[in-house]
């Protein structure tokens, strides 16, 4: 008789009845949740007498149940792969954090009880996490900080381990986050590149509401949504950098065209465009070098910043040419912006070699829709006015008075 070895045990005789029953159990793997119950344990153990053989049979039955649990887990996840795929598509198509978080909540709600649900974000080294999204009993809570302390979120972040509470009395209850306490809950750390990036949690008012494989599903969803949020934030950072002039800190040419187009499309009110050009940058560069020319442009841009507010935005358009969008019709307060700029520059001279250099500018003004109904036509009107200011001796402002480009000087 062949000797069958398992661990430190030798099965010297093969009980055909036991093997037949185990064979039939193996055929049932994946057909139901618990295929090895107490009756099966007792039945099979009664068919063997040797103590070591009983231990081997127990080990075989335990392994059969483990394989069955794994098959059940795979079947459950496969059943929800379509939802995961749809969520992945959403993550790839939107950069809106609110949309991503709401979609994550909707998805989790489809596959498990969610009397409460939240996603918290964490930056390594902080003493708090940021509650990015939370639903509790159908009510969405505002974003807020979760300070480190006696709560599950802190425990998950510091331990990097899943907490799965099956009933309220299983442990002394920690505070969840906010809202009412729940009976069973899963708190899953989201770990990306070996760094804890946050926590995702589903909670239910019922005991034993969750199964083991739902931990894995939450982990997948949490990783997807936080990865997508980090991508969105990186994109936003890069996008903002692409719209800002590095030297002056003002918005740039690209931002000007996007902003003006949007304002002209969205606003019913009149808009005024102020175009500014330095009067003597070339002379500064020739006499003092380009470093001094850069200082000159920075002071010029600082003056524009000094008159800016929620209705006035400045841009470095190109070289020493600047634009100012004013969400206001052409009125006396708009006309006063040029004197305010001149006053700023007189009070902020550039000191070099015991000399004072006062920034000097020429400007042209045009208003929408009177002097142009498109970005290009409005810009052209302001440019024509600026040209007239240069022609009349610089350090002055010219306002486009009529659509036929008739000008007068200030």
Cα 46 to chain centroid distance, Å, stands at 61
Of 277, 274, 258, the residue nearest 266 (C-alpha): 258
In this model, does residue 387 exceed pLDDT 60?
yes
Mean confidence (pLDDT) of the chain = 84
pLDDT band for position 3 (50/70/90)? very low
Which value, to the nearest 10 degrees, does the dihedral of the CA atoms of residues 135, 137, 142, 148 take? Answer: -80
Instruction: Please say whether the beta carbons of 187 and 201 come within 8 A.
Output: yes
Of residues 72 and 269, more confidently modeled: 269
Residue 396: phi and psi, rounded to 5, are -145, 170
Give the number of residues written for the chain: 410
**DSSP state for residue 124 in the 8-state scheme:** T
Q: What is the arithmetic mean of pLDDT over 257-263? A: 93
Of 17-21, 162-166, 217-221, 368-372, the least confident: 17-21
Percent of the chain scoring above 90 in pLDDT: 47
Q: What is the arithmetic mean of pLDDT over 51-74? A: 76
Give the Cα separation of 219 and 112 in Å (integer): 14
List C-alpha distances in Å: 136 to 92, 118, 273: 27, 8, 49
In this model, does residue 257 exceed pLDDT 90?
yes
The pLDDT, as a whole number, for residue 171 is: 52
pLDDT tens digits along 277-292 = 999 899 999 988 999 9
DSSP conformation letters of 319-382: TTEEEEEESS-S-HHHHTHHHHHHHHHHHSPEEETTEEE---EEEEEEEETTT-SSHHHHHHHH
Give the Cα separation of 68 and 25 in Å (integer): 10
The pLDDT, as a whole number, for residue 311 is: 93
Instruction: Please say whether the beta carbons of 18 and 46 come within 8 A.
Output: no
Give the Cα separation of 355 and 351 in Å (integer): 6
Contacts of 50 (CB under 8 A, 6+ apart): none
Q: Strand, helix or coil at 122?
A: coil
pLDDT tens digits along 97-142 = 999 999 899 988 888 889 999 999 999 999 999 999 999 988 999 9
Of residues 404 and 250, more confidently modeled: 250
The DSSP bridge partners found for residue 184 are 204
Of 70-79, 256-265, 332-341, 392-401, the least confident: 70-79
Give the Cα separation of 194 and 199 in Å (integer): 14
Give the Cα separation of 376 and 297 in Å (integer): 25
Instruction: Please say whether the beta carbons of 327 and 273 come within 8 A.
Output: no
Q: Which domains does the chain have, with CATH numbers?
A: 4-79 (no CATH), 98-240 (3.30.450.40), 253-409 (3.30.70.270)
The pLDDT, as a whole number, for residue 407 is: 42
């Amino acid at each position: 008789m062949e000797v069958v070895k398992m661990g430190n045990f030798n099965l010297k005789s093969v009980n055909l009845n036991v093997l037949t029953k185990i064979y039939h159990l193996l055929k049932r793997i994946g057909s139901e949740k618990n295929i090895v119950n107490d009756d099966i344990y007792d039945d099979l153990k009664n068919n063997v007498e040797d103590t070591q053989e009983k231990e081997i049979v127990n080990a075989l039955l335990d392994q059969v149940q483990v394989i069955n649990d794994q098959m059940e887990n795979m079947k459950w996840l496969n059943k929800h792969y379509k939802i995961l795929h749809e969520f992945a598509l959403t993550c790839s198509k939107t950069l809106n954090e609110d949309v991503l978080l709401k979609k994550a909540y909707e998805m989790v709600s489809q596959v498990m009880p969610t009397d409460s649900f939240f996603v918290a974000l964490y930056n390594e080294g902080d003493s708090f996490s940021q509650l990015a999204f939370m639903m509790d009993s159908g009510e969405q809570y505002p974003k807020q900080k979760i300070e480190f302390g006696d709560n599950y979120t802190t425990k998950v972040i510091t331990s990097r381990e899943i907490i799965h509470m099956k009933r309220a009395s299983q442990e002394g209850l920690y505070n969840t986050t906010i809202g009412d306490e729940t009976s069973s809950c899963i708190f899953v750390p989201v770990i990306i590149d070996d760094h804890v990036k946050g926590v995702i949690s589903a909670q239910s008012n019922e005991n034993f509401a969750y199964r083991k494989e739902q931990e894995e599903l939450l982990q997948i969803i949490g990783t997807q949504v936080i990865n997508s949020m980090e991508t969105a934030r990186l994109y936003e950072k890069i996008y903002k950098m692409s719209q800002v002039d590095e030297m002056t800190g003002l918005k740039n040419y690209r931002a000007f065209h996007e902003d003006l187009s949007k304002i002209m499309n969205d606003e019913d009110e009149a808009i005024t465009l102020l175009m500014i050009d330095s009067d003597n940058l070339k002379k500064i560069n020739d006499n003092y070098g380009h470093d001094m020319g850069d200082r000159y442009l920075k002071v010029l841009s600082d003056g524009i910043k000094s008159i800016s507010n929620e209705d006035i935005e400045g841009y470095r358009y190109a070289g020493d040419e600047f634009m100012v969008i004013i969400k206001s019709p052409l009125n006396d307060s708009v006309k006063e912006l040029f004197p305010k700029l001149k006053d700023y520059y007189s009070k902020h001279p550039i000191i070099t070699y015991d000399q004072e250099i006062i920034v000097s500018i020429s400007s042209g003004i045009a208003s929408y829709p009177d002097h142009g109904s498109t970005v290009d036509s409005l810009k052209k009107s302001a440019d024509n006015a600026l040209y007239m200011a240069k022609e009349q001796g610089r350090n002055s402002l010219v306002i486009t008075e009529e659509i036929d480009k008739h000008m007068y000087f200030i």
